[in-house]
Copies of this chain bind each other. A is one copy, B any other.
Amino acid sequence: MLLTDRQLLILQVIVDDFIRSAQPVGSRSLSKKEEISLSSATIRNEMADLEELGYIEKTHTSSGRVPSEKGYRYYVDHLLSPQDLNQQDIAIIQSIFAERIFEFEKIIQRSAKILSELTNYTSIVLGPDVSINKLKKIQIIPLNEETAVAIFVTDTGHVENRTFSLPATVDASDIEKTVNILNDRLSGVPLENLNDKIYKEVAMLLRQHIHNYDFMLHTILDSFKMPLTEKLFFGGKTNMLSQPEFHDVAKVRSLLTMIDQEEWFYNLIRTGSAGIHVKIGTENNNSAMDNCSLITASYSVGSEKLGTIAILGPTRMEYSRVISLLQFLSRDLTTVLTKLYQNN
């Protein structure tokens, strides 16, 4: 069953109004709006229909209406008027890239901060997926007789390091030879393929040249099995507390503990394809987020999808504005990062 234009208009105005005021919307206040020139009685009839169809709800028998999840979903899918960003927002976003920065993480971190400040919601930025970065150089630096640290540098300037124990039987020349072989063979290989490549191609080579091959290989290779967790950066974690829907400490608690549960969020956010995605309320499959919506966008370098930026807010979120902001920022991030790292 399709909605009439009038019903669409009313739905849209209800959602807009509720997003602004956080108060249930009544027929009388709707009838006073410029866009709508109908009597409150007519509007009541239409609202009854909209409710029957599941787009709006009452909080109690004689209250005004509030958008349902289905209502928000419809609003986001069909009624959203793409809002232009104002000049000031654009300027603020672009200030992220104002100074010339070389480190990925800094840019990402600053993006998270700015996003949360612009929206007053919580921002989450998933750092670049390190595992597709290509290895530039490996170094092994002995610390003392028992331990050494292995350092991996990628073509994007990202540095990973692992400390491992070094059997006393291994001597300096072995280490040097190993490092040389590794660099020779592994340079340019994406981190995620290191292990594979080593076992298939490099192991044999090492066996030929290195005395304590077995020891050497295993201690070092163990440190290669990196749990390359991309880093999550949060901004405005406490912003949600100022939203009226979180005046209840229990809700706040479950939401915040959820946010601090980083692994969970990581999965929630990573699993998006390119483009903007909106998940509303229970669509997030987590009771702590029943009153929340999550909007995600991805950024990339060239054609490789690198990471995700996201905004977590109440279901009563300024969808239009947030979507515009994310679109704008993700495009900018992509442009800047592509310029910076494409040509290696």
Contact among B163, B238, B256 for A157, CB-based, below 8 A: B163
Within 8 A of B (CB), among A101-138: 102-103, 136-137
Q: Is the CB of A151 within 8 A of B153?
A: yes
> What per-residue 1/0 map shows which CB atoms of A71-89 lie under 8 Å from chain B?
0000000000000000000
Q: Which residues of B contact A159 (CB under 8 A)?
A: 149, 151, 159, 161
A92 at the interface (CB under 8 A from B): no
Contact among B136, B137, B253, B260 for A242, CB-based, below 8 A: B253
Q: Is the CB of A237 within 8 A of B256?
A: yes
Minimum Cβ distance to chain B for residue A113 (Å): 11
Q: Is the interface of A mostly helix, strand, loop or mixed?
A: mixed
**How far is it, in angstroms, between the C-alpha of A242 and the C-alpha of B252 when the chains are bound?**
11
Max chain B C-beta neighbours (<10 A), residue from A102, A247, A260: A102
CB-CB nearest in chain B for A103? B163
> What per-residue 1/0 map shows which CB atoms of A159-182 lie under 8 Å from chain B?
101011100000000000000000
A208 at the interface (CB under 8 A from B): no
Q: Which residues of B contact A260 (CB under 8 A)?
A: 237-238
A48 at the interface (CB under 8 A from B): no
Minimum Cβ distance to chain B for residue A129 (Å): 18
Supply 11 further A-B pairs (C-beta < 8 A) apart from A149-B157, A249-B252. A102-B164, A136-B141, A139-B139, A141-B153, A143-B153, A143-B155, A159-B161, A238-B257, A238-B260, A242-B253, A248-B249
